[in-house]
Amino acid sequence: MENLEISNRGKNMPASPIRKLAPLAVAAKKRGIKVYHLNIGQPDLPTPPEIIESVKNFPEKTLAYAPSEGIDKAVSAWQRYYGNKGVILSKEDIIVTSGGSEAIIFAMMAITDPGDEIIVLEPFYTNYEGFAAMSGINLVPVTLSAENGFHIASKEQIEKKITDKTRGIIICNPNNPTGTLFSENETAMIVDIAKKFGLFILSDETYQEIVFDEKTVTKFSDYPGIEQNLIILDSISKRFNSCGARVGCLASKNTEIIASVLKMGQARLSVATVEQLAAIPLLENSKDYTDQIRIIYEKRRNAVCEGLNKIDGVQFLKPEGAFYLIARLPIEDAEKFATYLLTEFNDNNETVMVAPAAGFYKTEGLGKNEIRIAYVLEEKALTRAMKLLGIALKNYKE
């Protein structure tokens, strides 16, 4: 019994910067403090009634396993969803997954062996690092600077990170956590690199409908000649405000990828039956709904930017999409400040919760004085939250 020890994989699993301060928020609420949650991408908008009603009205007497690749009607709905975006896929190209997270894990495990590498643009969605740790692989960061708008500087910036262990590049466009919308020039760079070095492109498309200022996303599926390289990773969580439903998909025209992922899907049996069925009406007719939420998030972005502009010493870039931004604060340690917000600070029994940004970087030391803000509350709440942030920064002593 004395020799019991957990694995290095378990020890090295990173804690989520999005959730690790959650116990402090719980404790603050128990003290009677109202907490404005800007730490996590959990939208407050109502889940579409079509989804709720479908859950309520499940027609079968037995809640049975679904097929491992997804319920046929659900797969067809994803196919039509992509078709409406001009992406032509067959049903055989699609696997329904338990949220976008499972799609990412399956993709990573399908293209790598332990010790292999995937290139990631940092700052990045922090759970990529957790998924990589679970898979026994290494994320290799390409650092995008705020000074360059969190955009890719050149092909060489990526190419110099490629080794004989590199298997792919993962990119979220528009980006979580920066809100950057990568340009046609940048996506073309990624395509050229993937072709040149024989790499997979893992395209995280979770936020593709949430793009502001009448801009549009350049999709990797628009490029010819990369059908075998491209793996699309997707989710209903954000576009349909249904994070708890845990429905996503993985799509690729690479039959070996699909065959590998299907076997992984068989090992986990199936995605939740009711939620798959509930997502069908929205997937088949999504544009009206996503057009509405895009307008809402653009207004929320504007409210946050207006509030941050009033705080001395805060630096940020106006997001072009998704519902996040990275803000650089006039302090040395954002995690200590985020802890202070939940343990020592309040104004009229209110405070704000943010995510320290260091966990969105792989490179040690980066993001230490930055936070990620998720503008997922109504405008009035966001305006108050930015006011609280400004008051807290004035009061904070490191």
- How does pLDDT run across 125-171, given as a tens digit for each residue? 999 999 999 999 999 999 999 999 999 999 999 999 999 999 999 99
Instruction: Please say whether the beta carbons of 249 and 239 come within 8 A.
Output: no
pLDDT for position 17: 78
Domain boundaries, the chain: 9-46+289-395, 49-284
Average pLDDT over the chain reads: 96
Beta-bridge partners for 168 = 118, 200
For 171-208, write each residue's pLDDT tens digit. Answer: 999 999 999 999 999 999 999 999 999 999 999 999 99
DSSP per-residue codes, 38-89: -SS----SPPPHHHHHHHHT---SS-PPPPTT--HHHHHHHHHHHHHTT---
Q: Which two tokens stand for residue 56?
A: 């309520």
Q: How confident is the model at residue 323 (pLDDT cuts 50, 70, 90)?
A: very high
Residues near 7 by Cβ (< 8 Å), separated by ≥ 6? none
pLDDT at residue 1 is higher than 60: no
Q: How confident is the model at residue 3 (pLDDT cuts 50, 70, 90)?
A: confident
Instruction: Please say whether the beta carbons of 51 and 384 come within 8 A.
Output: no
pLDDT for position 15: 82
Report the pLDDT averaged over residues 321-343: 98
Per the model's pLDDT, the better-predicted residue between 60 and 266 turns out to be 266
Nearest Cα neighbor of 123 from 357, 368, 322 is 357
Share of the chain above pLDDT 90, in %: 90
pLDDT for position 398: 64
Q: Could you say which of 3.30.1360.40, 3.40.50.1220, 3.90.1150.10, 3.40.190.10 is the CATH number of the domain covering 9-46+289-395?
A: 3.90.1150.10
Q: Could you say which of 3.40.50.300, 3.40.640.10, 3.30.230.10, 3.60.20.10 is the CATH number of the domain covering 49-284?
A: 3.40.640.10
